[in-house]
Amino acid sequence: MGANNGSDALRGGEGDDKIFGRGGDDILRGGSGDDELYGGEGSDIFLWNKADIGQNQDNSINYDNIITDTVWDLSSEDTLDLSDLLVGISPDNLGTVLDIFVDDQNSDVTLKLNLDNDSDIEQSIVLKGAMTDSGIEINTLLDGNEVKLAVSSDGSTSIKQDGQNDILLEIHQD
């Protein structure tokens, strides 16, 4: 599925989708399934919703699914919108539901989200080749707050919020 060069909103379906934003300021939402998202040029928003994880017959969230989405071309202008996945999770307690892994071999950064506080990961987001020698700052929306997830090349991770002290998170090296 692909967009034009304007600003488009693209949403995948239930299967494993490849979504291309191309030019413009696009909103890309993979839907359920293991999706590949390509923002292209512009300030893109990569959006995740709890409903994409799957629902039981009673419309409750099915936390038994494990969804892995891959973002191929994250830039410093792009934003990961995790607001719907992390309703009620403030930057102060993000470390209770999020683990960050860095694969030094191919510079991938993986965000693993445990949304129901058990030992299983429900959503995994792979940022392909996103890590640079100086680290990466990821624009992120959490529960209505704009924050930056900062992963430095020395292995430290923090959440940066305007006018607030940085919050340190644990990082795992693959």
Q: Where are the alpha helices (DSSP H) in the chain?
A: none
Rounded CA gap, 73 and 118, in Å? 31
Under 8 Å CB-to-CB from 90, ≥6 apart: which residues? Answer: 142, 143, 145
* Region for residue 59 given its phi and psi (left: phi exceeds 0; alpha: psi -120 to 50; beta: otherwise): left
Above 60 in pLDDT, residue 173?
A: no
Above 80 in pLDDT, residue 9?
A: yes
Burial 141-162 (b: 16+ CB within 10 A, else e): bbbeeebbbbbeeeeebbbebe
The number of C-alpha atoms within 13 Å of 27 and in the hemisphere containing its C-beta is 8
The region of weakest confidence among 6-15, 62-71, 83-92 is 62-71
Rounded CA gap, 169 and 159, in Å? 7
pLDDT score at 171: 52
- Contact between 44 and 53 under an 8 Å Cβ cutoff? The reply is no
The region of weakest confidence among 28-42, 60-74, 106-120 is 60-74
Helix (H/G/I), strand (E/B), else coil: 91: helix
Above 90 in pLDDT, residue 127?
A: yes
Q: Would you mind telling me the total number of residues written for the chain in this entry?
A: 174
pLDDT score at 56: 62
Rounded CA gap, 126 and 124, in Å? 6
Confidence category of residue 26, pLDDT binned at 50, 70, 90: very high
- Contact between 70 and 46 under an 8 Å Cβ cutoff? The reply is no
DSSP 8-class letter at 117: S
